[in-house]
Homo-oligomer: A and B are copies of this chain.
Amino acid sequence: MPKKPLIEEVNKHIYKNSISFHVPGHKNGHVYEGTTEFKNFLKNDLTELTNLDDLHHSEGVIAEAEAKLTNLYGSIQSFFLVGGSTVGNLTMILATLNRNRKVLVQRNCHKSVFNGLKLINAKPIFIAPEISEHLGVAGGLSLESVKAAIHQNPEAKVMILTYPNYYGEIYDIRKIIDFAHGKGIIVLVDEAHGAHFQLGNPFPTSALKYGADIVVQSAHKTLPAMTMGSWIHVNSSRVSIKKIKEYLEILQSSSPSYPIMMSLDGARSYLEEFTANDIKYTITEIKRFKTMLLKIEGLKLVETEDPLKLVIQVKGGCNGKIFQEVLETHGVFPEMSDQKNILFILPLLKSSMAYPFEEATNAIKQSIEKVSHLKNENRKVQLHENKSCTTLEISYSEMDSYKEEYISINKAMNKVSAETITPYPPGIPIIIRGEKITNTLIDLLNLCIENNIKIQGGKYLSNKQIAVLV
């Protein structure tokens, strides 16, 4: 079998230099006005031609490429996704949950999980995560909170977890999976940031290895796939592969992108051929980078369990957003920042590859000199949130028949929120659309406003207004 079945077959087709009377309309790049790089690349943007198989009914080179993926991850069956982990999360929910059923959900999940719940009018039981010690951001669930939620909701037969968090922090997911399985609960894991965990030590262990029933990973986040390239692994016989295929066919384009699928074939091959020596090289390079960074005065590093994630902070207290702006003018683009942290996602390098860590270090050094005098003007506030499980006061299907109205937050007690409001950090929603507004929540919202904490959602919160369903 070829090493990269899909890539090799597409390249064979390109080599023929054939005349296209088929879609796409750019005709192998002939009909295109733009940069030469873009135009030349378009030869790869093919369609379901002879020998190029069909993602939705794969039995040729795409089936071979997916078989290699299945084999590498040791799942029962793994599938290419061209619509990102968004499609993977929607699919795992729709394929395992019937309408109107209770489901246990980690409160700080990705919005695609909330969207999946909405599509099937699920009755979510939101379980609050721990706050991670080092970074003060949303972490994972504790076994205790999971046990309590299951005890209170014995009808729930599906649980949805996020692992690791954005910063590469993990938690003891194995115990949670084992406990859930003991209660007959299927465990779905959004492991978007963990596609490279398959490499094993010194990287964290994937939830696949711990027996999670379905795991979704973004191959484009830490592996060299193109954006929207992800995969879904079916990892237990408790899951119907027929249903997974059914929803993948519903949710994914009937004309899937060949470049994205090729990049998935390439990313799988990249991982498969990543040697112990390559791991050593990557880790050594990252250590070298960190050593250089540590010599920069005024810079603080925070490491997490995933070596590919690195958080940097300015000792003086400069807001991370401001530091990011300065860094970018010096040519270094981080993944994201909040009022304290800047997150770097580091490259997974083969030993033949150089990465410009010296240049990056110089740029960071120059940048920090410009911001080291700045203080963080945000007061440090610990948002002690309500840790009990919550559920929706108004179901997803009922919400559509309500109107939305802005009222003063101080008059919002016992009303139902029309907004999901999330302070960063820690990145855990204080309130989720459809939940009832309690006195404790009003206090938290006031605390956020008074302390100028960065909020997602809450359009008029700075005016002390909140949208409610009436």
Contacts and interface: CB of A to CB of B under 8 A. Distances in A.
Interface string A279-294: 0000000000000000
A119 interface: yes
A44 to B, nearest CB: 6
A44 B266 CA distance: 18
A254 interface: yes
A33 interface: yes
- Among A21, A31, A83, the one with the most B-chain Cβ atoms within 10 Å of its Cβ is A21
A434 interface: no
Contact of A44 (B20, B37, B269, B335): B37
Contacts of A241: none
Contacts of A90: 250-251
A403 interface: no
Contacts of A451: none
Contact of A260 (B25, B46, B257): B257
A134 to B, nearest CB: 19
Contact of A344 (B11, B21, B32, B348): B21
A225 interface: yes
A330 B318 CA distance: 65
B253 A87 contact: yes
A50 B83 CA distance: 23
Given A21-B334, A359-B19, A37 B43 contact: yes
A: contact size bracket: 35 or more
B24 A332 contact: no
Contact of A33 (B49, B219, B266): B266
A159 B356 CA distance: 57
Given A21-B360, A26-B225, A32-B266, A254 B328 contact: no
Given A19-B331, A259-B259, 20 more contacts: A17-B331, A18-B331, A18-B333, A19-B356, A19-B363, A21-B332, A22-B334, A23-B220, A23-B227, A24-B220, A24-B225, A25-B196, A25-B219, A30-B353, A30-B355, A31-B349, A33-B270, A37-B43, A99-B397, A228-B253
Listed from nearest, the 4 A-B pairs whose CB atoms lie closest are A84-B253, A41-B41, A21-B344, A26-B224
11 contacts: A18-B331, A21-B332, A21-B335, A21-B345, A25-B224, A25-B347, A27-B347, A33-B224, A37-B43, A45-B227, A119-B250
